[in-house]
Amino acid sequence: MKVLLLGGGGFLGSHLCEQLLSEGEEVRVFERPIPGWQKPVTLEDHMEWQEGDFTNTRDLERALESCDVVYHLVSTTLPKTSNDNPVYDIETNVLGTLKLLELARRKPVRKIIFVSSGGTIYGIPKEIPIKETHPTHPLCSYGIGKLTIEKYLHLYHVLHGLDYCVLRLGNPYGERQAVLGAQGAVAVFMHKAFHDETLEIWGDGSVVRDYLYVKDAVRALAIARFATGEHRLFNIGAGEGRSVNDLLDNLEKLAGRRLKRRYVEGRAFDVPVNILDISRAHEQLGWSPQYSFEEGLRRTWAWVASNPVTHDRKTALPA
């Protein structure tokens, strides 16, 4: 089949691209133009690369041409900043996705797989671990936008028969994640730890998250293109929680020294704990994590150590 990766040049998308190519799929990556960004080298002979604007109907129509499966990995905002401009969040993410769905239902698209957010969709949990049936009360516009897109996917399935699958990811981390960005605590803290810089922690470090190694995440995404059965919505996480302080303790072991920590006032949209119940994915998709937290951190640390970064940019496929 021919697979389209919307946002396929980023951290998660680049790993998914490798996974799908290894399984023999024909892959087209759609990315926004980024000045000074080098295109992939080692994989460019094995995939098709297109650049364009996700909110532009013509660009989307060109990207969708002759594709069977679409992975929607695009997000123009982050949980941290989405509340600053909810209008922009809706205009670029939700409306952009509606344009995609309108085009997809008139194209030979067989299925859309959407990467949602297990970390923000549910809000403050009423029970742990969090099942897919848990109430959804996001505390940030980012989570509301993801939830809205989930609802529209269901609507287009009911009205137009467009098949879909939603994966609510925990907190993915791993090689090639941006280390100077505003999202991805593992990569950001690891980069600072490696360079012996001060780590700034929001709150007292007791916030608990479900950290998922990227190789496990993309394996779930790859499986989703074949998913059939009762459910179309799945939590994808490690199924266990780690506090920020626990993460930092593990980084100290990798660094072999104490880290410089600075605790600052917590943020209102940070829920105290988020641990996903992943039993549905195990039962219906036959998926479960294969990498331990410690192994994932060791692999990511080795990548940080061998890839010094001097400026921030969107992570591309390996050169």
Catalytic residues: 142
Cβ proximity of 206 and 87 under 8 Å: no
How far apart CA 231 and CA 171 sit, in angstroms, is 22
Pick the closest to residue 191 from 209, 210, 176 (CA basis): 176
How far apart CA 134 and CA 127 sit, in angstroms, is 8
Residues in the chain: 319
How far apart CA 132 and CA 118 sit, in angstroms, is 9
3-state helix, strand, coil in the chain (%, to 5): 35, 20, 45
